[in-house]
Amino acid sequence: MAATSVAEAVYGFIQLGNFDALKKFTPDDFDWSQTFGHQGILPLSAALSNTALPPPAMFEWMIEAGADPLQKHPANTEPVWVLSKNDNPEDTKIRIELAGLSALTFAFAMIAEMRKGKGGANWSARVTEVEQILAILAEGSSPKCKNLSVPQSLVDMWESVREMDSTHNVVFEAADGEVSAHDLILTAASPVLKAMLASTMKEGSSKRIPVKDATSTGVRLFVDMLYTSSTREEPDYKMGLVALDWAHRWQVLGWVSVLSAMLQKMIAPSSFVAIAEAAVLMDLEPLQRACRTFGSTNAKVKAMLKKGTVPAAVRKLLGQPETPAAEEPGEQKRRRTFCAR
């Protein structure tokens, strides 16, 4: 498929605000730095320009995929954003030229102009929506690991190294089996494992590391990610949580971000509580935000909140009281009194 055709389709899904289709269609190596349309608008700004704003999760996903909230529109492009009230279009019209603006500064300009209330227009609902997206753009603007495209042959080579079991010299003792790896990879990835394996402790001398509260499938996913940031397995959220837990404990920070992003795609009613608890415990803001977005709109999660089956930490994450409100007492049955004759 021609690159221009792919870009046009991605632009179309962004304009429609169709998040599901955008995720399914967009190639992993899509260039998010390109501009769309004859005006030359950047992807995040295109989403912000929609009359009906897309869900916040779409902005989060675009940033994770590579869209940069700080990238500025070229000075020689002519994208313009216009908004007005249908009942008074001339007096309420807002017009912002995007040349030289990034998505982040575009959002600031939108809020500033809408708050002016030109022509008596009330944009309070839209301002609230943009402020929520602004927080996501600001979070996405902070320094983080960059994703790079590498040749498939390089990934294949490191996968072959991963599979050289006879040369592995460290063993993880999981609850249901053992997983092995090279100490060189482990010490390069984790300062905690480096200290552990270099010490005079049992782990350092035996090169055997007990992880008895973890499944072997979860530990194997963790090790696979260290070598190639990929796996041949079909990971579920339970495996992902085990891998995330140990990446967090052993301070493999780059893979904490990767596994957190993977788990965001696995949030469902059945996995919601476990993933949300992990997000709170590890203070992972992007994962917390994804859980809040899902939990605030999903009917099954709302039902769990009502029944009081959601843990206190997750209730707090969703802006609910940590303890569910006591149910109103039902109508008491009539007392029946008996006595001897």
Q: What is the pLDDT of residues 106-137, one digit of tens each?
A: 999 999 999 999 999 999 999 999 999 998 89
- CA 118, CA 101: separation in Å to the nearest integer? 22
Mind listing the pLDDT tens digit for each residue in 165-206? 999 999 999 999 999 999 999 999 999 999 999 988 888 889
Locate tokens 């790896």: which residue? 181
- Sign of torsion, CA 37 43 46 50? positive
For residue 340, pLDDT over 80 is answered with no
pLDDT at residue 39, as a whole number: 83
For residue 278, pLDDT over 90 is answered with yes
Mind listing the pLDDT tens digit for each residue in 26-84? 998 899 999 998 889 999 999 999 989 999 999 999 998 889 999 999 887 778 999 99
Token pair for 89: 């279009």
- 3-state SS, one letter per residue, for the chain: CCHHHHHHHHHHHHHHCCHHHHHHHCCCCCCCCCCECCCCECHHHHHHCCCCCCCHHHHHHHHHHCCCCCCEECCCCCCEEEECCCCCHHHHCEEEECECCEHHHHHHHHHHHHHCCHHHCCCHHHHHHHHHHHHHHHHHHCCCCCCCCCCHHHHHHHHHHHCCHHHCCEEEEECCEEEEECHHHHHHHCHHHHHHHHCCCHHHHHCEEEECCCCHHHHHHHHHHHHHCCCCCCCCHHHHHHHHHHHHHCCCHHHHHHHHHHHHCCCCCCCHHHHHHHHHHCCCHHHHHHHHHHHCCCHHHHHHHHHCCCCHHHHHHCCCCCCCCCCCCCCCCCCCCCCCC
Q: What's the pTM value of the predicted model, to 2 decimals?
A: 0.60
Domains and CATH numbers, the chain: 3-141 (1.25.40), 150-251 (3.30.710.10), 267-324 (no CATH)
- 178 pairs with which residues across the strands? 173
- Sign of torsion, CA 266 271 274 277? positive
For residue 329, pLDDT over 80 is answered with no
Least confident stretch, 131-140, 157-166, 288-297, 327-336:
327-336
Provide the residue type at 256 as one letter: V
